[in-house]
A and B are shown apart, each in its own frame.
Chain A
Amino acid sequence: MNSSNLNFVTSNEILADVLKIVQDEGFKMNSKGWYTSQIQQGLSEMAFDTYFDERSESVDIPHNCRIQMPKGAFNIKNLYLVNGDDCDIESSTPVYHKKNFINAPSGDGYVANNKGDNGSDPFHKDTSGKGGHRNLYYYSVQNGEIMLSSNCRGFKKLFIQFSGVGTDIGEVPYIPVFMRQAIKDYVSVEALTIKVAMVPSSELNRWSMLLNKAENSLDIQEVREGSWLKARRRIKKLDSKQRNDIKERMQKMYY
């Protein structure tokens, strides 16, 4: 399946359809902000399921070797230490994950179950005499902070490749066109749920029927083949070029 960078729809285009379905064109029932928030939440749900939102970011390495995970990041895919800048990377090397690694707040020294120099530890082999971990660069994440080993200071920047939440909270959402129907259904279901709770009993049947229709169309439980499942399948089918296109587009939007 091919797609282009321009194949994104705005939140307004989603709203143009949803507001007709839920008959709230004058925002009498919910504010525009509420609908936009639902679009963002729908995108995030899809991002958690599919990792469609691939992003990267480079940040300067501070002296204490602790870096806050980028906004909207929930899954680190790769870390690289880089010299140079974003336009001209002179050298780079990967950073490896180390279990139970926590560095000191100053960045000097750390604790970990396996530090290489393990002496007579019966569970962790002493590898200090064989080079061990000393030539490696490693990291761990705790409470949203990326903690780097002190030897990472030899590089200028940390390049982070991660999965994003679709749209950062508070940002205006842009929706890949192949998940348009899924997001439309997602927002419709949320809005119609409120509508059903609010309407008088004389209108309940009509709105309940519409809610059922929207729920079936979305089918977020993926019992049948609803728009949610279709969107997930489409994302899986994306070729690498297309994934890169989306990535590029996302990066242009946020950074």
Chain B
Amino acid sequence: MQTTLKTIVNDISIGLGQITDDKKVLDIQIAHWVIMLANRIKSQHIGKRDSGAFLSIFPNVPIQTFTTNSGPNQIKGRKYIKLPACIYDYNMDGGIEYMSFYLEDYEPNCPPPFTVQTLDRTTPSGAQRLYFSPYEKPSPNNAYFYRAGDYIYLLGLECVNAKSIEIGVYASLKPVTDPTLNWEEPFDFPEETIPVLTRQVLDLGRFILLIPQERVNDGSTSSTESVPTNKIVSVNELKEDITQNK
């Protein structure tokens, strides 16, 4: 049984002594801290090891085409898919583990498409170099993808009837503002690093609870502060004047 977000939040609430009705820190605030710090720890964890524990595979992401240019990254006429989840922004789009495409005439006895009909990564500026080499020229046999924000554009599939993409990504945790976030579901986070996460959230919570009242701007000091009304004359300036008058 994997730990849930609710378990972690309750644990930290108790640790911070925030369990009464007049508690200063709400559970939603603690959940935000947990997710914020968990994303950092989880991304480091994934980056350090070769594991499929946190790989999320979306097998049937539809290929679409924008009909108009609208806003940044929405380019008319180019085939794309929308990222099915927020992903970690690793170097060289490492948040995307792999991508493959499916054709209508796929034979069941052939190797699975994700092992043969794969897409390699490129960038919009790097794409022109691919056309210089007959071995790298984009085609259904040499298909590429490049990322622009939340959109993944496809290169080399312009002339084939590919309907959908299988994509494996390293997804970040859902934020507290996501309506689909379920606190009771297993928390998609490495169990062995939960003590580190708990400690970091407790440290953050303690620091915030330690902020003294007088550091909070309640507007009470502004009315009593004296405001100079006379011209302020520099002492140094005066001395210089005296020297020059001699």
List residues of chain A with CB under 8 Å of any chain B CB.
Answer: 26-29, 31-34, 36-37, 40, 169-170
A37 contacts across to B, CB distance below 8 A: 133, 135-136
Q: Which of B83-131 contact A (CB under 8 A)?
A: 92, 94, 97-98, 118, 120-122, 130
A29 contacts across to B, CB distance below 8 A: 92
Closest to B168 in A: A26
B92 to A31, Cβ gap below 8 A?
no
B136 contacts across to A, CB distance below 8 A: 31, 33-34, 37
For the residues of B in contact with A, the DSSP-based class is mixed
22 A-B Cβ contacts within 8 A? A26-B97, A27-B120, A27-B121, A28-B92, A28-B94, A28-B121, A31-B122, A31-B142, A32-B120, A33-B120, A33-B130, A33-B133, A33-B136, A33-B142, A34-B135, A34-B136, A37-B133, A37-B135, A37-B136, A40-B135, A169-B134, A170-B134
B134 to A31, Cβ gap below 8 A?
no
Confirm or deny: B144 has a beta carbon within 8 angstroms of a beta carbon on chain A.
yes
B122 contacts across to A, CB distance below 8 A: 31
List residues of chain B with CB under 8 Å of any chain A CB.
Answer: 92, 94, 97-98, 118, 120-122, 130, 133-137, 142, 144
B118 to A27, Cβ gap below 8 A?
yes
Closest to B93 in A: A28
B135 to A33, Cβ gap below 8 A?
yes
Cα separation A31 to B118 with both chains bound (whole Å): 11
The 5 A-B pairs at the shortest CB distance, nearest first, are namely A33-B136, A170-B134, A37-B135, A33-B135, A31-B120
Closest to A169 in B: B134
Cα separation A36 to B120 with both chains bound (whole Å): 14
Closest to A35 in B: B135
Cα separation A33 to B137 with both chains bound (whole Å): 8
Closest to A36 in B: B135
Residue of B98, B122, B135, B136 ringed by the most chain A CB atoms within 10 A: B135
Additional A-B contacts beyond A33-B135, A37-B133, A37-B135 (7; CB < 8 A): A26-B97, A26-B98, A28-B92, A28-B94, A31-B142, A33-B120, A33-B130
Cα separation A27 to B122 with both chains bound (whole Å): 11
Residue of B92, B120, B122, B142 ringed by the most chain A CB atoms within 10 A: B120
A31 to B97, Cβ gap below 8 A?
no
A34 with B133, Cβ < 8 A, contacts A27-B118, A28-B92, A28-B121 known: yes
B130 contacts across to A, CB distance below 8 A: 31, 33
Cα separation A36 to B141 with both chains bound (whole Å): 12
Contact check: which of B134, B137, B142 meets A32 at CB < 8 Å? B142
